[in-house]
Amino acid sequence: MSISVIEQARIQAQVLVPLVKALQAELGEARANALVRKTLGDLYRGFGEEFWKAKNEANLGLAVASAFKAYARDDALAYDVIEQTQDAFAFDVTRCAYAEFYKALGEPELGFLLVCTADFSTADGFGPDIKLARTQTIMQGADRCDFRYRRDAGGSQ
C-alpha cells in the first residue's frame, strides 16, 4: 500500500521546516518564502499536469473529487461537497489534519507555505481553463477552507 499524502507531509516536514527556517534566517522571510513558493509551485504544477493527463476525465467534478480523495485518505480531511458538476467541484474542508499537525509543531505559517499554497499550483497544472478560488483556510485560523474549482468557459490563459 502506498504512503498517504498526510504521512508524506509529516515526513517532508522533518526536512522542510528546518530548511525553510534556515533560508528565512539567511535570506529574510519574504525572499525565502518567495523562493520556496516558486520552487514548490513548479513541482506541484507538474504534479497537476501529470494527474490531469493520467486521469483523462472531461468531467471536472469527477476528476477533482477523485484527486481530493487522495488528500483526504487516512482521515486527513473532513469535507462537505457543495457542488459537483461537469464544470465545477466546490467543497468546504471542515477538519484538516495537515493544519492540526503544523499547529502542533507551532508552525502554521510554514504549514500554509508548504501545504496550502500547493493547491493553486496543482490546479494550474490542470490546464488554463480550470480555476481555483479559495478565500480562507483552517491553517490560517478560519473554521473551514472553501475550495471552488471551476472550468472557465472562456478558456482564458
Residue 63 has pLDDT above 70, yes or no: yes
CA distance 69 to 115: 16
State the cell numbers at 111: 504549514
Residue 154 has pLDDT above 90, yes or no: no
Residue 59, classed as helix, strand or coil, is coil
Q: What is the pTM of this model?
A: 0.89
Which of 1 and 53 is assigned the larger pLDDT?
Answer: 53
Query: 157: pLDDT confidence band, cut at 50, 70 and 90?
Result: very low
> Measuring CA to CA, how many Å separate 105 from each of 3, 14, 80?
21, 10, 27
Provide φ and ψ at 98, rounded to 5°. Answer: -65, -45
Which residues 6+ apart lie within 8 Å of 103 measured at CB?
A: 111, 139
What is the number of other CB atoms lying within 10 angstroms of the CB of residue 127? 17
Query: 16: pLDDT confidence band, cut at 50, 70 and 90?
Result: very high
Say what the pLDDT of residue 156 is.
45
- For residue range 75-125, list pLDDT tens digits in order: 999 999 999 999 999 999 999 999 999 999 999 999 999 999 999 999 999
Signed CA dihedral, 153, 77, 136, 14: sign only: negative
